[in-house]
Amino acid sequence: MNSEKKERREAQLAKKAETIKAFASEVVLQSPTQMLIDGRPYILEKNYRNGFEVKKLEERFSNILTKYDYIVGDWGYEQLRLRGFYAAGSNKGTPTQSIERLQDYLYEYCNFGCAYFVLRNLDVQPPTPSHNGGKNKKTGHKRRTQNRKEKSQKAYTAQRVYDINKKQPRSKKYTTDQVKKRKRRFTIRQKNK
């Protein structure tokens, strides 16, 4: 039984290794600080505690990171995590995605004192359109909220008028006159003075 589990586990690991090799990027070092990743030039700006490892970068690098001006790789639990940042003063992304906020990112999301590195992208690629024709899922939501705002800003042309003074006749079942007096199940005693 254990040998079957062991064989299945080895087969899973072999399949995972093949997948990693299939999606691995090509990293060519030109000098200790300059490199080409999939033919695009990068410069190693900072290598804190020797966090830069070529083999792990080849495994983890994804083409989605080519749109960022900076790529930060940090180590946590023996795993390399890559995150993209935009240049300072860039209008792209949110303010938290600016390289000026790198220290905040390291304090918030990384282990204290972890090894990390910063790569600067010299050839930033614009993001490729997605498979859904470049349509963002949130565009419909945006349109709906704009339509709601437009509707709420329009003046009402007709008001509903409710007849408040008009009373509805009650049915005779529920009038107080016809309520039957019930017999009490207990007696009320009064104190003698």
The residue assigned the tokens 């080849």 is 58
As a whole-number percent, the residues of the chain with pLDDT over 70 amount to: 69
Q: How confident is the model at residue 57 (pLDDT cuts 50, 70, 90)?
A: very high
Residue 45 belongs to what H/E stretch? strand 40-48
Question: What is the model's pLDDT at position 188?
Answer: 78
pLDDT tens sequence across 122-168: 988 776 665 665 555 555 566 666 666 666 565 556 666 666 666 66
- CATH superfamily name and code, 14-120: Uncharacterised protein DUF1027 (3.50.4.20)
Query: What residue segments make up the domains of the chain, in order of their start?
Result: 14-120
Q: Which residues lie below 8 Å from residue 61, measured CB to CB, with a gap of 6+? A: 24, 25, 27, 37, 38, 82
Mean local confidence (pLDDT), 90-104: 92
Return the higher-pLDDT residue of 180 and 82.
Answer: 82
Average pLDDT, the chain: 81
